[in-house]
Amino acid sequence: RVAWRFVSLVFILLSLFLSLSLSLSFPRQCATVESLRSGMCCPDYFPVFGPGTDRCGVSTGRGRCVQVTVDSRPHGPQYIHDGRDDREQWPIRFFNQTCRCNGNFSGYNCGSCRPGWSGPTCSQQINIGKSMGNMT
């Protein structure tokens, strides 16, 4: 009886962990049939005029949708899964176009700021330490 409870608990925890990790693989907007077929993961930042009108925040200068380039150098002899691993030449196995963010913008649709920056235009630097002038 105790063994079944333990097995059930392990199964539930493992299922929860896998469901969380799988949901974080791709942005939700890119996990549609249309996106996977087209190979484009360039979600809208602020689609005022409908879907596909503001890919990567291009209307506000946040970023643009670009072709993905990958390292084409051959693998070493220690890599035995050549051609069979989804991680190989990531991410073109699934997407050949993604967002490239400008300046301090970041994120899957250029909708957030890079670490250390904040504000509506990501132009305000976040001070982490104390200023030497304020110390007495």
pTM: 0.66
Q: What are phi and psi of 108, to 5 degrees?
A: -65, -25
Q: Which tokens belong to 30?
A: 């890119």
Domain ranges of the chain: 28-74+82-128
Give tens-digit pLDDT for 96-115.
999 999 999 999 999 999 99
- Please report the beta strands in the chain, taking only residues with DSSP state E, as ranges in sequence order: 40-41, 63-67, 97-101, 105-106, 112-113, 117-118, 124-125
In one letter, which amino acid is 53? T
Coil/strand/helix, residue 17? helix
Residue pointed to by tokens 């799988």? 22
Give the DSSP letter of residue 134. Answer: G
Residues 6+ apart with CB under 8 A from 31: 25
Give the DSSP letter of residue 55. Answer: B
Q: What is the sign, positive or negative, of the torsion defined by CA atoms of 48, 53, 57, 59?
A: negative
Give tens-digit pLDDT for 56-72.
999 999 999 999 988 77
| Average confidence (pLDDT) over 78-96 | 75
In one letter, which amino acid is 26? F
Q: What is the pLDDT of residue 13?
A: 63
